[in-house]
Amino acid sequence: MFLQKQFSFWGSFKTDCLIVSSLIILIFLRILLTGFMGMMPQDAYYFFYSENLTLSYFGYPPAVAYMLRLFTSVFRQHVFSIKLADLVGLEGTFAKSKNHPG
């Protein structure tokens, strides 16, 4: 009863559970399919500029380079590690925009 009142903003509790479980399944499928996807040209570009870390770049912020360097140092230089860094950055952006009131 308490949870149903808490989630009544979007709809019924069953609808909310269905939406959340669908999102979890889609994120899990994206993680699984990441290993089969090839590297896109922009992925290769970001990987190469993460190999030469500096405090700033002319056209891009350094956070992407540092995140890619972290993922490639932990998971080695593999397409999966580059795509996983992209996935984590994307999900972090969605989480931030969802919590942002404006």
Q: Is the pTM of this model over 0.75?
A: no
Give Cβ neighbours of residue 27 (< 8 Å, ≥ 6 apart).
91
Tell me if residue 51 falls in helix, strand or coil.
coil
pLDDT at 74: 92
pLDDT at 96: 58
Instruction: Tell me the mean pLDDT per 10 residues along the chain, length 102.
Output: 51 77 86 78 84 80 87 87 81 62 54
pLDDT at 1: 47
Exposed, middle or buried, 35 (CB in 10 Å: 0-12/13-18/19+)? exposed
pLDDT at 5: 52
